[in-house]
Amino acid sequence: MTFEPLYSLSGLFVGALVGITGVGGGSLMTPLLVLLFGVHPATAVGTDLLYAAITKTAGTAVHGIHGRVNWKIVSSLAAGSVPAALLMLWVLAGVDRKSIGVTNTITVALGWLLIMTAIMLVFRGSILELARRAIGHRTPPRPTTILILTVILGFCLGVLVTLTSVGAGALGVTILLALYPRLNVREIVGSDIVHAVPLTLIGGSGYWLIGEIDWAMLFALLVGSIPGIVIGSLLAPKLHERTIRIVLAVTLAVVAWKLLAG
């Protein structure tokens, strides 16, 4: 195991952006590892999942202390995401992860998810407004219907996060806001972060069991990202978040193009 300072520098950069924007590190870290450092997509995803599980644990504690967690939403999401994560890990364990087919599948899925994340970053408000207008004065969905849709959302997130490490942040929060329009945004975000901890921990542990974790890289990323998140959180009130989100969205779109174009 050799310590690579560039990984820590990347962790510092990603951690700062996470602290400023609240966007999940998977949207940034996995493509950075693949494109900049040439890490195999499966190893990048597995390592990033454990990285996310560790870094999001602190966020879970903060949101839990301030009562910003809706445990019904968390449990409903987990009811779908945990089986989905286990199913994806079973599939990945049975295939040649170094093959061109698997590599391309992960890369293409990652690219399209980054595009969707970029769209959500810039147009989340407009998308939610369109959803509200579409519903209009119709009878609100029954609680049972919302519960089922939340479980289905959890299943989709379980598949996407386990395959690419991306999806639980911008995408998950936007859909939850549409499903639960009366809940406070902070409660939605807190619930999403809490749900992401067991999901990424299960995914990361699964990748560990099938031999796709780079421990030296994980340690180096954490060394940089933990102070990065603190710095970003301190800078956030002094920066124009909307501008940062647009710059981040453009960056994600460029990265997605690079991944999809090969």
Residues 199-215: pLDDT tens digits?
A: 999 999 999 999 999 99
Residues 79-92: pLDDT tens digits?
A: 999 999 999 999 99
The separation between the first and the last C-alpha atoms of the chain, rounded to the nearest angstrom, is 30
* pLDDT category of residue 129 using cuts at 50, 70 and 90: confident
Residues 160-184: pLDDT tens digits?
A: 999 998 876 778 888 888 888 888 8
In which element (H, E) is residue 238 found? none
Compute the Cα dihedral for 174, 178, 182, 183 and give only its sign.
negative
**What's the mean pLDDT in 115-143?**
80
In which element (H, E) is residue 1 found? none
**What's the mean pLDDT in 219-232?**
84
Task: Give the model's pLDDT for residue 213.
Answer: 92
Task: Give the model's pLDDT for residue 185.
Answer: 78
Q: What is the pTM of this model?
A: 0.85
**pLDDT at 66 exceeding the cut of 80:** no
The residue extents of the domains of the chain are 3-259
The number of residues in the chain equals 262
Residues 6+ apart with CB under 8 A from 220: 3, 4, 5, 7, 8, 11
Task: Give the model's pLDDT for residue 196.
Answer: 84
Contact 60, 194 (CB under 8 A): yes
**pLDDT at 245 exceeding the cut of 60:** yes
Contact 10, 36 (CB under 8 A): yes
* pLDDT category of residue 241 using cuts at 50, 70 and 90: low
* pLDDT category of residue 224 using cuts at 50, 70 and 90: confident
**pLDDT at 3 exceeding the cut of 60:** yes
* pLDDT category of residue 24 using cuts at 50, 70 and 90: low
- Pick the most confident of 22-26, 42-46, 141-145, 247-251: 42-46
User: Comparing 187 with 23, which gets the higher pLDDT?
Assistant: 187
* pLDDT category of residue 26 using cuts at 50, 70 and 90: low
Please give the DSSP secondary-structure letter assigned to residue 142: P
Percent of the chain residues past pLDDT 70, beyond the cut: 87
* pLDDT category of residue 13 using cuts at 50, 70 and 90: confident
**pLDDT at 63 exceeding the cut of 60:** no
Distances (CA, A) of 236 to 16, 61, 112, 136, 156: 9, 20, 28, 35, 31
Task: Give the model's pLDDT for residue 78.
Answer: 95
